[in-house]
Amino acid sequence: MAGRRDWDNAFTGERLKGKVENAPSYAGAQSFLRRRFSRELEGVDVAITGIPFDTATSNRPGARFGPRALRMASSSMTWARPWPWEFDPMEVLSMVDYGDCPFDYGDPASIPPAIEQHVDRILASNTACLAFGGDHFVSYPLLQAHAKHHGPLRLLHFDAHSDTWPDDSDRVDHGTMFYHAAKKGLVDPAHSVQIGLRTTNDDTLGFNVLDARWVQEHGPQAVAQRAREILGDEKVYLTFDIDCLDPAYAPGTGTPVCGGLTTYQALEIIRGLVGINLVGMDLVEVSPAYDSGDITAFAGASLATEFLCLFAANPRREENHNT
């Protein structure tokens, strides 16, 4: 097995840590960062899972294919540690690709609890979760599962939209889930922050908003500093809607809005958040049918890898893992 070039780490990898240097990016099973596909979670720090659900979208569908696109884009990111980090999350964290959440698309009412139960099984094993949507509604059952295990969370929300439009029903909608999350005490708006917003919703529900103009005027370092001040030391859930990026950098999404962040700005903000008490994370709304040259998928996979760096750098990670 010279160079082990016939070894597909997604199926036969023996270690849950480490780079995969010999696998060509254009071939093999497309697990995220070529992690082993597994539902065995003993000794696993992070389980990566897809939530291929997009029937809550209000505009262009297709985000059900987002997890697949993100996995494929990540296949070229496994040969060296992410720049400019001084450590490699693949060496620090034991990770598996947990596959996708199963649900019955013909029984819509059963889908939100199926998502919650899927993630609850991961968290119950003392394993953190990085989830890929799907449309942004999936963050609601993800938050329900995380709040069950961690208590009320502080939300770190990157988006073009607030997703806090009022709703007094139980409808499944990708624009109302943080309204429900705030009203039901899953998140603490006063110590949460929304970054990159650029659509009109006059009622902030008490969330702190650093809109797209604020980001452009103050720069990534100031955004990260202000976000750290708002979030404090308590447990944080990070959700990133890819439409936070300007359509020039992420055309492959369902509800694009001009005037957004550059990929560089978003990456630098994430890098400036080292030290936050991150316990859960998702990246949503990648819709590859509208993408160009896979740039949205590459942006999403790069951001998700940064989330893993941020999670690995959390000084309270071991403490959280043991509670």
Domain with 165 in it: what CATH number? 3.40.800.10
Using the Cα atoms of residue 287, residue 290, residue 294 and residue 299 in order, give the sign of their dihedral: negative
Q: How many domains does the chain have?
A: 1
Q: What is the pLDDT of residues 58-107, one digit of tens each?
A: 999 999 999 999 999 999 898 889 999 999 999 999 999 999 999 999 99
Whether 163 is covered by a domain: the verdict is yes
Whether 12 is covered by a domain: the verdict is no
pLDDT at 147 over 90: yes
Q: Interhelix angle for 139-150 vs 111-124, to 10°?
A: 40
Model confidence, pTM:
0.93
Residue 323 has a pLDDT of 63
State the Cα–Cα distance between residues 3 and 1, nearest whole angstrom. 6
pLDDT at 202 over 50: yes
Confidence of residue 7 (pLDDT cuts 50, 70, 90): low
Confidence of residue 5 (pLDDT cuts 50, 70, 90): very low
Provide the β-strand partners of residue 283.
132, 240
Q: Quick check: helix, strand or coil at residue 240?
A: strand
State the Cα–Cα distance between residues 239 and 131, nearest whole angstrom. 9
Instruction: Give, as one character, the DSSP assignment of residue 117.
Output: H
Whether 286 is covered by a domain: the verdict is yes
Whether 206 is covered by a domain: the verdict is yes
Whether 223 is covered by a domain: the verdict is yes
Residue 62: asked if its preceding bond is cis (omega within 30°), the reply is no
Provide the β-strand partners of residue 187.
153
Give the C-alpha distances (Å, rounded to integers) separating 113 from 75, 81, 127, 145.
31, 37, 20, 10
Residue 9 has a pLDDT of 73
Whether 5 is covered by a domain: the verdict is no
In terms of Cβ atoms closer than 10 Å to its own Cβ (0-12, 13-18, 19+), residue 287 is buried
Whether 304 is covered by a domain: the verdict is yes
Strands in 164-254 per DSSP E: 193-195, 208-210, 235-241
Token pair for 204: 């902030």
Whether 17 is covered by a domain: the verdict is no
Residue 115 has a pLDDT of 97
Average pLDDT over residues 177-204: 96
Range of the domain at 68: 32-321
Residue 1 has a pLDDT of 38
Average pLDDT over residues 280-306: 98
